[in-house]
């Protein structure tokens, strides 16, 4: 905790402290003892724009969320490199876990959706799944306490990657005209319905798919973070500021915070799965003859 | 989308913040940059290190399992072949034993038959020899008897001739004397034989 405090500037100390509350109940009493100004602080979107640590106002600006991302990436890479280094023909316990995780993407997503085309796209899907999972799960890890994917840049990049790959694969397979024909004029539909369907398909293929991919992920993570901050910030308020019977409400908000923490773990895995699954589905739609 | 509205509601409650809500969905340059850095690192790790390694191990494991299975199949086939061969040998041995037994039986029967034949032949030969001997004895007896009868007849005749043959009394006396002599000689012969 002290290291986190040195990272943030005094102006924003209250935000960071609020986040740190997620980690442990013990911090609550500590927070009270530190003698901050009273009152209930509702969560706000400035949570997602912490002050810079290095290179403020440049393109290299490095703040708390970037640090969380780097930490998550380093841990993820370290775990998998370790697993790969020690990988043997007869797996040990750690290797079994790594293989199960990799198999989940390979079998449940890639093979399931893409079939015989799966192998070509497997590295991409694996990267997407584990990157999102790692950046999502930081939202409930003490001291990190914010999802790396709750800032729009990362989901946008991932969605763009998927976008480029599914458009590129489709065009490579059918040619530009062929791909547009297959995607925008689905076979087996009476020609006059194309007036309705084609504009919708254009929006689908070129706008909605990537935008919804990125938005769904970011919105989920932002909402999850705000919910957690709300619960724990309210718990702090009830325990420290409130008097009498209201103090008991702290138990309720604390329980809610605990429940939402578990829920966020579920959401972290679910959103990674959904994003990767949809990426596979979009690629499959681009390269399959029939929709 | 409900999550978005929920987020929006919370954001609206804190409208006095200096950051505009729309900024949440307008990624800053540094956001994109650092996202790219971590994503490229993770992608590089999966593309170059982890997936090739695990693919190689999976393939190797598949090969090993397939190899093991085919080896097991080969061994099973070998065992089957061995069993078949053993069974064939057993059958052959049984046939052989039966054949040998049959041969022995036949041979035994042959030997018995041969022995029987030889025995009957032998007995026939012995019988024939005996008969032939008896015949020889009989002939020898007859010859000697004839000689004896001749001599006796000659002796009798000389005796008859030596005496005068005028009366019957004489005749009968001569004959009686001859017969007595004959009897006496037969008795002496018998006594000598004892």
**Contact B122/A at CB under 8 A:** no
- pLDDT tens track for A142-185: 988 899 999 999 999 999 999 999 999 999 999 999 999 888 88
Confidence grade of residue A290 (pLDDT, cut at 50, 70, 90):
low
Q: Name which of A5, A89, A93, A40 is nearest A250 in CA terms.
A: A40
Q: Which residue of A has its CA nearest to B32?
A: A153
Q: Distance (Å, rounded) from C-alpha A280 to C-alpha A263? A: 25
3-state secondary structure of B164: coil
Distance CA A201, CA A203 (A): 5
**Residue A103 binned pLDDT confidence (cut-offs 50, 70, 90):** very high
The mean-pLDDT minimum among B5-14, B26-35, B181-190 falls in B5-14
Q: Do A226 and B10 touch (CB under 8 A)?
A: yes
Contacting residues for A92 by C-beta, under 8 A, at least 6 apart: A86
The average pLDDT across B88-105 equals: 95
Q: What are phi and psi of B144, to 5 degrees?
A: -65, -35
Nearest-neighbour CA in chain A from B68: distance (Å): 14
Confirm if B77 and A107 have CB atoms less than 8 A apart: no
* Closest approach of B79 to chain A, Cα-based (Å): 29
CA distances from residue A143 to A4, A138, A139, A224 in whole angstroms, order as listed: 7, 9, 9, 16
Calpha distance A185→A233 (Å, rounded): 52
Q: What is the structure's pLDDT at A48?
A: 86
Query: Residue B103: CA atoms inside 13 Å, Cβ hemisphere, count?
Result: 6
Give residue-wise pLDDT tens across range B67-91.
999 999 999 999 999 999 999 999 9
What residue segments make up the domains of chain B, in order of their start?
2-193
Give pLDDT tens digits for A227-273: 999 999 999 888 888 788 888 888 999 999 999 999 999 999 999 99
pLDDT of A39-68, one tens digit each? 677 788 888 888 888 888 888 888 889 999
> For residues A195 and A183, what is the distance between their CA atoms, to the nearest angstrom?
14
Of residues B117 and A8, more confidently modeled? B117
CB of A154 less than 8 A from some CB of B:
yes
Q: What distance in Å separates the CA atoms of residue B132 and residue A187, rounded to the nearest whole number?
A: 128
Beta-carbon separation of B43 and A123 below 8 A: yes
* B36 neighbors A68 (Cβ within 8 angstroms): no
pLDDT in tens, A11-36: 444 444 444 433 333 333 334 434 34
- Mean pLDDT, residues A193-199 taken together: 91
The predicted structure's pLDDT at residue A27: 39
Per-residue pLDDT, B18: 59
| Closest Cα in chain B, distance from residue A50 (Å) | 11
* Nearest CA distance, A187 vs chain B (angstrom): 31
Residue range A104-129, pLDDT digits in tens: 999 999 999 998 889 999 999 999 99
Contacts of A72 (CB under 8 A, 6+ apart): A134, A135, A137, A138, A144, A148, B38
- Check CB contact of B38 with chain A, cutoff 8 Å: yes
For A236, other C-beta atoms within 10 Å of its C-beta total 25
What one-character DSSP code corresponds to residue B15?
T
- Token output for A201: 């398909």
Q: How far does the CA of residue B71 sit from the closest CA of chain A (Å)?
A: 19
B75 touches chain A (CB under 8 A): no
pLDDT at A1: 35
Which A residues, 162 through 201, put their C-beta within 8 Å of a C-beta on chain B? none
Distance from CA of A189 to the nearest CA of B (A): 30
Backbone φ, ψ for residue A53 (5° rounding): -95, -50
Q: What is the mean pLDDT of residues B144-154?
A: 81
Whether chain A has a CB inside 8 Å of the CB on B107: the answer is no
Q: Which residues of A touch B68 (CB under 8 A)?
A: none
Q: What is the mean pLDDT of residues A286-291?
A: 74
Q: Compute the distance between CA of residue A237 and CA of residue A38 in angstroms, rounded to an integer.
A: 8
* Spatial contact of A133 and A272, defined as CB atoms under 8 Å apart: yes
Among candidates B19, B38, B46 on the partner chain, residue whose Cβ is nearest the Cβ of A70: B38
Contact A223 B43 (CB under 8 A): no
Residue B61 touches partner A, C-beta closer than 8 Å: yes
Query: Is residue A22 helix, strand or coil?
Result: coil
What tokens appear for B14 in the block? 């804190």
Q: Which of B6, B33, B61 sits opposite A60 (nearest CB)?
A: B33
What are the start-end ranges of the E strands in chain B? none
Q: Which of B1, B3, B32 to mutate to test the interface with A (most CBs of A within 10 A)?
A: B3
At residue A52, φ and ψ (nearest 5 deg) are -70, 150
Under an 8 A CB cutoff, do B17 and A60 touch?
no
> Which residues of chain B are within 8 Å of residue A62 when distances are taken between CB atoms?
30, 34
Beta-carbon contacts of residue B164 (< 8 Å; ≥ 6 apart): B170
Instruction: Tell me how far apart the alpha carbons of residues A186 and A183 are, in angstroms, rounded to a whole number.
Output: 6
Compare CB distances from B47 to A72, A123, A151 and report the shortest one's residue.
Answer: A123
Contacting residues of B for A126, CB less than 8 Å apart: 46, 50-51
Residue the block writes with tokens 């069993």? B83
A66 to chain B, any CB pair closer than 8 A? The answer is yes
Is the pLDDT at B165 greater than 80? The verdict is: no
Task: Please compute the mean of the pLDDT values over residues A206-227 and round it to a whole number.
Answer: 94
Taking each helix axis from N to C end, the angle separating A194-203 and A153-184, rounded to the nearest 10 degrees, works out to: 160
Mean pLDDT, residues A127-141: 95
- Spatial distance between the Cα atoms of B137 and B131, rounded to a whole number of angstroms: 10
* SS3 assignment, position A53: strand
- Residues with Cβ within 8 Å of A234's Cβ and at least 6 positions away in sequence, in order, are A40, A249, A250, A253
| CA B145 – CA B139 distance, rounded (Å) | 9
């Amino acid at each position: 905790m002290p290291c986190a405090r040195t990272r943030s500037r005094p102006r924003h100390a209250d935000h960071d402290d609020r986040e740190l509350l997620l980690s442990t109940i013990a911090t609550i009493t500590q927070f009270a003892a530190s003698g901050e100004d009273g009152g209930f602080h509702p969560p706000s979107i400035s949570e997602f724009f912490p002050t810079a640590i290095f290179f403020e106002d440049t393109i290299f600006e490095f703040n708390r969320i970037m640090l969380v991302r780097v930490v998550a990436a380093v841990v993820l890479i370290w775990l998998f490199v370790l697993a790969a280094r020690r990988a043997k023909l007869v797996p040990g316990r750690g290797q079994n876990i790594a293989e199960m995780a990799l198999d989940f993407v390979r079998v449940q997503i890639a093979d399931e959706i893409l079939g015989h085309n799966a192998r070509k796209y497997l590295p991409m899907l694996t990267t997407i799944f584990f990157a999102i999972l790692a950046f999502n799960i930081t939202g409930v890890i003490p001291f990190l306490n914010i999802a790396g994917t709750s800032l729009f840049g990362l989901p946008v990049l991932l969605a763009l990657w998927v976008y480029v790959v599914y458009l590129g694969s489709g065009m490579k397979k059918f040619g530009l005209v062929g791909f547009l024909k297959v995607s925008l004029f689905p076979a087996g539909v009476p020609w006059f319905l194309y007036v309705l369907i084609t504009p919708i398909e254009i929006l689908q293929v070129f706008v909605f798919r990537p935008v919804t991919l990125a938005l769904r992920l970011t919105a989920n993570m932002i909402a999850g973070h705000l919910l957690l901050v709300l619960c724990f910030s309210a718990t702090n308020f009830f325990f420290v500021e409130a008097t009498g019977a209201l103090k008991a409400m702290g138990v309720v908000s604390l329980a809610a915070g605990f429940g939402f923490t578990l829920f966020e773990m579920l959401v972290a895995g679910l959103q990674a799965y959904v994003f990767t699954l949809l990426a596979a589905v979009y690629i499959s739609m681009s390269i399959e003859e029939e929709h | 989308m409900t999550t978005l509205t929920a987020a929006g509601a919370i954001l609206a409650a804190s409208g006095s913040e200096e950051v505009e809500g729309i900024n949440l969905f307008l990624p800053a340059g540094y956001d994109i940059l650092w996202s790219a850095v971590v994503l490229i690192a993770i992608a590089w790790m999966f593309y170059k290190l982890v997936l090739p390694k695990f693919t190689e191990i999976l393939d190797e494991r598949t090969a090993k399992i397939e190899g093991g299975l085919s080896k097991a199949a080969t061994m099973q086939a070998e065992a089957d072949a061995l069993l078949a061969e053993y069974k064939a040998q057993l059958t052959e041995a049984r046939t052989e034993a039966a054949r040998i037994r049959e041969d022995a039986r036949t041979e035994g029967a042959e030997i018995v038959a041969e022995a029987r034949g030889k025995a009957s032949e032998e007995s026939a030969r012995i019988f024939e020899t005996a008969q032939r001997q008896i015949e020889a004895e009989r002939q020898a007896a007859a010859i000697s008897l004839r000689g004896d009868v001749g001599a006796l007849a000659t002796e009798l005749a000389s005796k008859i001739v030596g005496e005068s043959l005028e009366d019957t009394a004489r005749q009968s006396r001569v004959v009686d004397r001859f017969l007595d002599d004959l009897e006496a000689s037969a008795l002496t012969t018998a006594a000598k034989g004892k």
